Amino acid sequence: MNSQSKKMELLGSTSIPKALLAMGIPTMIGMLVNAFYNLVDAYFVGGLGESQMGAISVVYPLGQVVVGLGLLFGNGAASYISRLLGRGDKENADKVVSTALYSSVSVGAVIIIISMVFLHPILKLLGATDSILPFAATYAGIYIVSCIFNVFNVTMNNIVTSEGAAKITMCALLTGAVLNIALDPLFIYVFDLGVAGAAIATAISQVVSTCVYLTYIFRKKSVFHFRVKDCTYTKETMSEIFKIGIPTLVFQILTSVSISLINNAAGNYGDSAIAGMGVVTRLISMGSLSVFGFIKGFQPIAGYSYGAKKFDRLREAIKTSVLWSTVFCVIFGVILALFPTAIVSRFTKGDAEMIRIGAASLRANGISIMLFGFYTVYSSLFLALGKGREGFILGACRQGICFIPVILLLPIVWRLNGIMYAQPIADVLSAVITVFMAIPLHKKLNETQRQTSPINTKDNN
């Protein structure tokens, strides 16, 4: 059996626990290490001072918007690709892959150029204070340009995972993250480049990750062919990509907006508040990105099973994913809730106010993130099944529908506490909404299974 057949077997017939481990764990490890890099980056930059730490916190959401373009085309295509493979339509899958990859890089380049032209106004909009702005501009001037490689990497991440080659994604993420961790202290302190050094280290690591994916393509290890001539912009192809991709991009934008709103609100209380909330954001991202990595392994299995009408396999995948992701979130959340002060204090030279604010927020976020696995499985499931509207609504809850009203109103009446507890409150509200959306989904799946079962088909004839 060749490697391509093994990938299809993994998606369609391998036992669910084994398939989830093979698909989800490699991607989860890669995302976990990548998130760990973000923490290490914050650790080394935090040693430069609160303004420098605030700078990378301000630039972070801008980078996420640019990377969101990779998710727009990559995640949008991945959902469709998995369903096409489930139906055995390899020819159209090739066209979708090529269209997504080349489109993401082209659009990404345009957005990066626009971002650089209007860099200073954008950074101020994102919450940069006068003391933070010079450092933020220096960091962003290098980091945002290098994001063109990250757009490519994120698109390939989704495409490669959709074909069952999660180990390649893990290899690309691991290589880049480990290199970044090694280069950070070298460029920041040894070469005395400060925040510019952190950005250069990130840029180099992104280039190396890109090389891993290019090697995979040129060695023809992929199920797909990546050819410019296969790019097609038919109504069906683009609607399928955008049906899932646009909600994913909106989620990414909402994440950036939520971080910016926190930065702007925290700015009223000084650089220590911005730095403290920035540390919390990166710590929570370490857990959330790990879950996202695991769910990326779940999504192609769900999409393939749905396309192949294997409903029992789909339900087992959902149940197992909810259980495993929730166990992880509970363990992670307990650690954050029990040791918030000790954790936050590692990211500052001894700023007591930053530690106080960060620890209080981290404790609350540690408790609420225990619900994150359940919420993420279902928000991703709707997209995997091609249900863009439902996926958009649920996915927009945590950082948008529930979060934005809370962060805008709560600080008015609760001041700094309103900022620290805004995300935990939004997490709880999102979990409640998930319950009410999951129930009708399962009813619909049961109904569809009855209608497509062999017995019913025979009776109808």
Other CB atoms within 10 Å distance of the CB of residue 447: 10
pLDDT in the model for residue 460 = 41
What gap in Å lies between CA 162 and CA 82, rounded to an integer?
Answer: 6
Whole-prediction pTM value?
0.81
Find the helix packing angle between 372-384 and 271-307, rounded to 10°. 50
The SS3 assignment for 393 reads helix
Q: Walk along the chain (461 residues) and give the pLDDT tens digit of each residue.
A: 556 667 778 888 889 999 998 888 888 887 777 777 778 888 899 889 889 988 998 998 888 888 888 889 998 898 888 888 888 888 899 999 999 999 999 999 999 999 999 999 999 999 898 999 999 999 999 999 999 999 999 999 889 988 878 889 889 988 988 899 899 999 999 999 999 999 999 999 999 999 999 999 999 888 888 999 899 999 999 999 998 888 888 888 898 899 899 999 999 999 899 999 999 998 998 899 899 989 988 999 999 999 899 999 999 999 999 999 999 999 999 999 999 999 999 998 888 999 999 999 999 999 999 999 999 999 999 999 989 889 999 999 999 999 999 999 999 999 999 999 999 999 999 999 999 999 999 999 999 998 887 655 444 43
pLDDT in the model for residue 3 = 61
The SS3 assignment for 158 reads helix
pLDDT in the model for residue 273 = 94
Q: Which two tokens stand for residue 327?
A: 């166990």
Q: Which residues of 206-226 are buried (b: 16+ CB within 10 A; e: fewer)?
A: bebbbebbeebbeeeebbbeb
Q: Collect all residues with Cβ–Cβ distance below 8 Å to 292 and sequence separation of at least 6.
A: 31, 376
Which amino acid is residue 237, in one-letter code? T
Which of the 8 DSSP states describes residue 89?
-
Label residue 167 exposed, middle or buried (CB < 10 Å: 0-12, 13-18, 19+).
Answer: middle
Which amino acid is residue 208, in one-letter code? V
Which of the 8 DSSP states describes residue 345?
G
Q: Which two tokens stand for residue 439?
A: 């129930």
Q: What is the radius of gyration, based on Cα positions, of the chain? A: 22
Which of the 8 DSSP states describes residue 224?
S
Which amino acid is residue 43, in one-letter code? Y
CA dihedral 154→159→162→167, nearest 10 degrees, is -70
Other CB atoms within 10 Å distance of the CB of residue 412: 9
- The domain ranges of the chain are 3-451
Phi, psi of 252 (to 5 degrees): -65, -40
- Among 75, 116, 95, 111, which Cα is nearest to 380's? 75
pLDDT in the model for residue 455 = 52
- Among 61, 76, 68, 58, which Cα is nearest to 108's? 68
Q: Kindly give the residue spans of alpha helices, DSSP state H, lying in 219-310.
A: 235-266, 271-307
Which of the 8 DSSP states describes residue 132?
T
Contacts 24+ apart (CB under 8 A), 437-442: 437/378, 437/382, 437/390, 437/393, 437/394, 438/378, 441/378, 441/381, 441/382, 441/387, 441/390, 442/315
Q: What angle do CA 112, 388, 313 make, to 5 degrees?
A: 120
Q: Which two tokens stand for residue 397?
A: 């809850």
